Structure 1
């Protein structure tokens, strides 16, 4: 018989730059599978340090990568006990955002890369979180989400999906079908491509705000 137990847990997260009166944009960024947040956040070092403050939550499930058991990666979710694990992750994100006390005077940007797209979009939908911009990079949109989950969203929210033309994880037929589905859910979404593969290239973040 499988049972459940409730307990408290502690997890880390990383930040980049300083949150000051000069900060214009606060980014909540979700890494993909295999990353640790402290390495993922380095991808945003090219952004203006005075104007941008980056918050990178850490996926809770860690594992060793490769046969030498030296490098560590992390995953947000698997197909095992997904519903409960999703709620655990969303509660953790709530705690991170509450701890950062993000001022209303800044623009709030939510970005998901690869597996992080599913976490970012689920958190936005479940918490009905309005933000200034949503950026989805090289990731799929959760199948359970529908247009009803985003009726709260302002039409002023800028939503961008970016995909590499050489991304080995996506077939063009499936991409086109997915575009149609997501467009029905979030009509203002803009789809972009870059010449690379399954990657987050900081240069592609131009004009996403």
Structure 2
């Protein structure tokens, strides 16, 4: 007989600088499968400023990237106990944002960027989070197919959407593009679509354009 137990758990996250709680905008950035937050956030470090804070939570499922030793990566979920992992992700991100935002006197703009697997995790969480997401950037990933569409349509009514893909991304297929198109139509949202010359990666030049357009 399989049972479960709740207990206190410690999770990790990285920030681009020690928060002053005077920042005008926060970027919650969710890494992809097999990555670690402390390395993922380095792509964004050059855009850190007094007014802009990047926060990179680290997924709590870990594994060796090859074999039984060497580099370790984190992932947001696998097919094993998938629903439990999703709920744990939600609790983790809820608590992280609650603790962070409670220290701001003036609420900052909230931007969420999900890369690859982090995109689906970002949309699931953001569609049910109690707060407001001003901008959602899905990079080399897309909307979770199991989102509650009615709730997401209402939640994202005033959220700006941007979809970014590399023209050589081996993980982006015509089928996945079609699925995402159908989902955006069901959400009744316009999505800004951007393409860069490259593969399954964060392109710094494209990132710069997105951040500049947000100023």
CA shift, 1:188, in A, is 2.5
What is aligned with 2:49?
49
Partner Cα separation in structure 1 for residue 156 and residue 29 of structure 2: 20
Q: Deviations over 1:94-128 (max 9, x none)?
A: 11112212634421111100000111111111225
Are the structure 2 counterparts of residues 174 and 61 from structure 1 closer, same or farther at C-alpha, using a change threshold of 3 Å?
A: closer
1:112 correspondence with 2:119: no
Q: With structure 1 as the length reference, what TM-score do the two structures score?
A: 0.90
The question of whether the paired residues in 1 share the 8 Å contact of 2:59 and 2:76 is answered with yes
CA shift, 1:22, in A, is 5.3
What is aligned with 1:97?
97
What is aligned with 1:10?
10
Moved over 6 A (4+): none
Number of aligned pairs?
209
CA shift, 1:65, in A, is 1.8
The question of whether the paired residues in 1 share the 8 Å contact of 2:110 and 2:135 is answered with yes
Residue 181 of structure 1 aligns to a residue in which SS? helix
Which stretches in structure 2 are left out of the alignment for 5+ residues? none
> Where do 1:170-189 residues align within 5 Å?
170-189=172-191
CA-atom RMSD in angstroms = 2.0
Q: Deviations over 1:134-181 (max 9, x none)?
A: 110011321112431223336442110101111101222431342232
The question of whether the paired residues in 2 share the 8 Å contact of 1:130 and 1:152 is answered with no
What is aligned with 1:127?
129
Q: With structure 2 as the length reference, what TM-score do the two structures score?
A: 0.88
CA shift, 1:186, in A, is 4.7
Which stretches in structure 1 are left out of the alignment for 5+ residues? none
What is aligned with 2:196?
194
1:33 correspondence with 2:27: no
